[in-house]
Amino acid sequence: MRQTAEGPKTPARTWLTYGQKLFLLATVPLVFAASAMAVLVAVQSRALAEQEIKLLEERLLEAKQSELSNYMSLARTSIGHIYGNAAPDDAQAKTRVAQILAAMTYGSDGFFFVYDYDGTNLVSPKQTYLINRNWWDVPNQDGEYVVRRLVEIARQGGGIHEYVWPKPSTGVATPMYSYVIGLQDWRWAVGTGIWIDDVIAQVASARAATEARIQRTFLWIAGITLLALLLVFVSGLWINIRERRLADTKLKALTQRIFDTQEEERSRVARELHDGISQILIGVRYGLDIAGRRLRAGKPGVAEGILSSTDGLNDAIQEVRRISRDLRPGVLDDLGLGPALKTLVDEFAARTGIHSEFDTAVFRNRLTAEAKTALYRVAQEALTNIERHANATEVKLRAWGHRSGATLRIEDNGVGMDLHRQDTRPGVGLRNMAERIEHLDGNLQIQSTAAGTVVTAQIPLKHLLRSDSSPPPARKESA
């Protein structure tokens, strides 16, 4: 297998840290809410603005149409007395009417125009290039035949029409409204127009102002969102630093407690080795020395010395087994929690002389290894505390399983302890008991009065393995 010069490729890191997850958890809903609010504000603002703009446009156009109607009323008044008394072929009357209409101008672009029904322009004072020319077949820049439509409206009695036409003052094709009436006897279409580019400009200005307000609203929302994100980031950073400091403090305290526990355990094992096994082995050594001297001197009693030393070695072996069992009882792994607790209670009763009762339902190794160890250590620590401090004459230990998990209960009739004193702190043993149970998501309760102490440890159901057979009935033992 050939190896390339490049080293192994490390996989890209895809997992987020706890702080990053917390920041995303706080910022993603905030950004989503701000975005949704911005979109909603924009949609609602545009809808409301469009309604207002449409209403403004309608009002402006209505004003233009009313203005056109007034102009046409003025034109009717000016030519009515001539047209009403003239014959259909009265050329002189037609000339006088054309002159009156040509003279009626208003503003920089307002004027009256006249087309005959064939499409020939007769009057156009401000666009004189239209006069005497036929515009029937000439479309405007939008392709609309404007003169045809104006004549059609005049034939029908009159009305308003919107179209695009060059504005006299600029020469640019601009939308306009024209009011047309028909002089049916003369076959004339008489009208006037108002360009509505000012209306379009006002509507465009209103729409631009609306867009500007919406953009300012977006900027405000974005600024508030950024400020909120900054506050979330700063507060998250502060919480993260604070939590890290607290975690470091707790970790240091936990590490120191572990060291203290280890040193205490080592001191206990060292004392037991020195006070027990060491003393026994020293006695064995002296016995063997004496037996050796007697053997070399030919004196009697050699066999008795060897036998005594053998008994001492047996005691040392039993002491080693006891210490090993205290560190980690093999019966806990081999037979389960019930036999291990039974052995622990028997040894406690034999060692202290305290009347002890043990009541249990056989678990048949249904507990997980962590649960067995935790309950065993709780029982071991509780019995140690009873032996050292309780001055009890009776101890009851019970362990059983139920629908919620498993429970261990240790009860004594000793002097109890005051758990509510402010000048006392829980010892290492009690803390270890609580931490072991809490690590398994369980619950440890200690109730102590002058009549005795009750320690109850509960393990949740998730630490019990499934079993097809139901547990046998509880058995009660005393030692």
Tell me the domain boundaries of the chain: 106-195, 335-478
- CA torsion angle for 256, 260, 262, 264 (degrees, to 10)? 180
Spatial separation of the C-alpha atoms in residues 6 and 3, rounded to whole Å: 8
pLDDT tens digits, one per residue of 285-329: 877 888 787 778 777 877 777 877 787 788 778 777 777 766 767
- Helix, coil or strand: residue 421: coil
For the stretch 55-69, pLDDT in tens is 888 888 888 888 888
Is the confidence at residue 30, as pLDDT, over 50?
Answer: yes
pLDDT band, very low/low/confident/very high, at 423 (cuts 50, 70, 90): very low
Does 397 score more than 50 pLDDT? yes
Host H or E run for residue 448: strand 443-449
Residues 193-222 pLDDT 10s:
988 888 888 888 888 888 888 888 888 888
Q: How far apart are CA 216 and CA 270, in angstroms?
A: 78
CA-to-CA dists, residue 458 to 344, 435, 446, angstroms: 19, 13, 12
Residues 226-258 have pLDDT tens digits of: 888 888 778 877 887 888 888 888 888 877 777
**Over residues 344-362, mean pLDDT:** 87
| Percentage with pLDDT > 70 across the chain | 88
pLDDT-wise least confident of 51-65, 236-250, 409-423, 428-442: 409-423
CATH superfamily of 335-478: Histidine kinase-like ATPase, C-terminal domain (3.30.565.10)
Q: How sure is the predictor about 471, in pLDDT bands with cuts at 50, 70 and 90?
A: very low
The stretch 19-48 carries a mean pLDDT of 78
Residue 473 has pLDDT above 70, yes or no: no
Chain-centre distance of CA 60, in angstroms? 51
Residue 472 has pLDDT above 60, yes or no: no
CA distance 374 to 458: 10
pLDDT at 266 over 70: yes
Q: Given this model, what pLDDT does residue 148 score?
A: 94
pLDDT band at 467 (very low <50, low <70, confident <90, very high): low
> What single DSSP character describes residue 183?
E
Answer yes or no: is pLDDT of 420 > 70.
no
335-343: Cβ within 8 A, 24+ apart: 335/365, 336/362, 336/363, 336/364, 336/365, 336/367, 336/372, 337/363, 337/367, 337/372, 337/375, 337/376, 337/399, 338/362, 338/363, 338/399, 340/372, 340/376, 341/375, 341/376, 341/379, 341/397, 341/399, 342/477
Architecture of domain 106-195: 2-Layer Sandwich (3.30)
**Per-residue pLDDT for 5 more than 60?**
no
Give residue-wise pLDDT tens across range 117-158: 999 999 999 999 999 999 999 999 889 999 999 999 999 989
Contacts within 8 Å (CB) and 24+ apart, 317-320: 319/272, 319/276, 319/277, 319/280, 320/277
